[in-house]
Chain A
Amino acid sequence: MTTLEVKPSNDLSVDLTGKQSRRRKELFVHIVLAAAGAVSLIISILIIWSLLKEAWTFIFNVEWANVWSIGWFPRRGFYDVKTLIVATFITTGIAMAIATPLGLGAAIYLSEYASKRFRAIVKPILEILAGVPSVVIGFFALSWVAPQIVSRIGGSDGGSLMAAGIGVGILTIPLVASISEDSMRADPDSLREASSGLGARKRHTIFSVIIPASISGLVASFIVATSRAIGETMVVFLAGGAADTAIFTSSAYDGSLTMTAAMASLSSGTDSVVGEGLTFQSLFFVGLILFALTLVLNMIATRFVNKVRERY
């Protein structure tokens, strides 16, 4: 960023600040661009404000016995948040159990083993998987994963938290793969060369040198993917196996509503969100919990990513 600043001075016969119209145009452009830069701040304020305002109404008017009860029946006044949170943790857990090994495996192969040519073919394919919309994965989870996989491992062939979790896992594989691969490729080659030079085998190089060196990036990829899995809506909405209401369950083979699925099913079907009393506000209360949870995870992930940047 090199700027040339020339102050008008009495010694010079020419005024180097240029024509006034030229300076005015520069100022105008500066202001317009700065305004665009401020838009993101306004959006953040609006998000937090809308969530807090409605959630506040909910918190102060709801009967708290109904927030910790038997299940999520918002139109009848039972807002059991525990049901939603447990379901969210179940699907996220299953998703990460699938996405972490597969994504990490893809990342290790692409970064440590693959030839240039193989990488040039496979990387775009993984990026295509990353671009598949979540509704599509939701359809796939319900119409293929549930009957072909879940029903064979003891579940039903309809929607269930297991089917939804597998779907979310598929969705997050490319995310884990791309962040992990980036951080492993950021390790300088001198590390690999030094390790080989000492006579270490490939597996020792990978597990004792490369993975420890890029551990911050790997942790970051795990956290970002977890946050994405918690916030994923369409897969769990379509394949989660519950519509509108859910009784508390801690079994992955049952259908239930995650936080996001509860929000989606509360607002779909009818013209707008209607219901007894605080139904509309409950939407924002759940939204606030979701927002806070993912925000904390993302901030932690940013910390880890910055650590990688500092080192190399």
Chain B
Amino acid sequence: MAIFGRLLDRRTKDHIQKSVTQALGTKRSGRSGILDTLLRYIIIALLFISLIILAVLIIDIAIDGFDVLSSRLGSFLSGTLRSRSVDEGIGIQQGLVGSFWIAVFVAVFAFPIGIAAAIYLEEYAPKNRLTKFIELNIRNLAGVPSVVYGLLGLFIFVKGFDVFLLRNFKSLVGGSSLAAAGLTLSILVLPIVIITAQEALKTIPSIIKEGAYGVGATKWQVIRGQVLPYAAPGILTGTLLSMSRAIGEAAPLILLGAVTGRLGLKAGLFDFYQLQERFTAMPIIITNWTQKQGRDIGFGENAAAAIVVLLFFVLLINATAILLRNYFEKKRA
């Protein structure tokens, strides 16, 4: 400002000021301002339509499922698949157990392998064509439709085709079984685990690593002692999101032959023998009851109630992941 004061004489300054206010004055009035406001409202409206859809979805399902959940929550959670909706014993216990085990499989197989692969790609892999190809490949795998993973599971686990060393997989998992479902969904979420873990590993400042190397740590010691603890919240967020994805996924399970009609088996939560048996899961029960509501309207209510239970778990996991991420983003910013 001081410079302007010295460079411009008073008359020039007044002249500039006048022309600027004139220009602004003519532009601010009239059509142009209205169009701007209109655009703003249109964009707000588009955003709010999305939010309204979400609200309608949740309210509609909550209303549909309210009767079942309020009148017989206990027997609904402990009941089993039935062929008629008026049956007293109808419930989702088998689906809850199935989905629980699928989550266990994802935690046991997809998480360690995915995180290890991410560490390899970020910290060890040489920057060459092969690494680039592997990364591109993982990104493409993440975009493969879930039914195709179902075909893969069907091919390897259920039909037991000879796949070089894997020919015994069918007898190991017991064909169309809970173990086959867990493994297939682990394969499905593996690329997501790898990508999110990689993103988390990228955030570590190099000073931290250099400091650890400087005091004589080996590569693995640096990773275990510095890199992993620093990236842990980000990795955890990614694993939680992939777990909720696996719990809600239905298409691959249908391909694998999940039981939709009657499942004789009613195993407890920790009965290991059920891993080799026929199975069902929450999304499969919902699918099946939704299809049956055309013939037997009572199934619609039960499907909505099952959705409320599934959404409770899925949204709980997602909300935890999102809050966790926001908390650490804020803390580190």
Question: What residues of chain A have their CB less than 8 Å away from a CB belonging to chain B?
Answer: 1-4, 18, 22, 25-26, 29-30, 32-34, 36-41, 43-44, 46-47, 49-51, 53-54, 101-106, 108-110, 113, 120, 122, 124-129, 131-140, 142-144, 158, 170, 173-174, 177, 199, 201-203, 206, 224, 227-228, 230-234, 237-238, 243, 260, 263-264, 267-269, 271-273, 283-284, 287, 290-291, 294-295, 297-299, 301-302
Contacts and interface: CB of A to CB of B under 8 A. Distances in A.
Contact of B151 (A228, A232, A283): A283
A134 B40 contact: no
B194 to A, nearest CB: 7
Interface of B: 23-24, 27, 32, 35-36, 39-40, 42-47, 49-51, 53-54, 56-57, 60-61, 64, 112-114, 116-117, 119-121, 123-125, 134, 136-141, 143-152, 154-156, 158, 161, 163, 176, 187, 190-191, 194, 206, 209-210, 213, 218-220, 241, 244-245, 247-251, 254-255, 257, 260, 283, 286-287, 290-291, 293-294, 300, 303-304, 307, 310-311, 314-315, 318-319, 322, 326
A50 B113 contact: no
Given A102-B50, A133-B249, A283-B151, A237 B287 contact: yes
Given A131-B318, A133-B310, A302-B139, A199 B27 contact: yes
Given A39-B190, A139-B304, A231 B39 contact: no
Nearest to A224: B143
Contacts of B138: 40
A268 B260 CA distance: 8
Contact of B220 (A3, A25, A120, A243): A25
Q: Which of A33, A297, A302 has the most CB of B within 10 A?
A: A33
B287 A113 contact: no
24 contacts: A26-B218, A33-B124, A36-B113, A36-B114, A50-B156, A50-B163, A51-B148, A104-B46, A122-B47, A124-B322, A132-B315, A133-B249, A134-B251, A135-B287, A144-B60, A231-B147, A237-B254, A267-B150, A268-B254, A269-B260, A273-B257, A294-B145, A295-B144, A302-B139
B121 A2 contact: no
Q: Which of A25, A132, A173, A295 has the most CB of B within 10 A?
A: A132
A201 B31 CA distance: 12
B148 A290 contact: yes
Contacts of A299: 140
A135 B248 CA distance: 8
Given A132-B314, A134-B250, A267 B218 contact: no
B243 to A, nearest CB: 11
Nearest to B303: A139
B190 to A, nearest CB: 7
Nearest to B248: A133
Given A129-B54, A268-B260, A291-B148, A143 B60 contact: yes
B311 A132 contact: yes
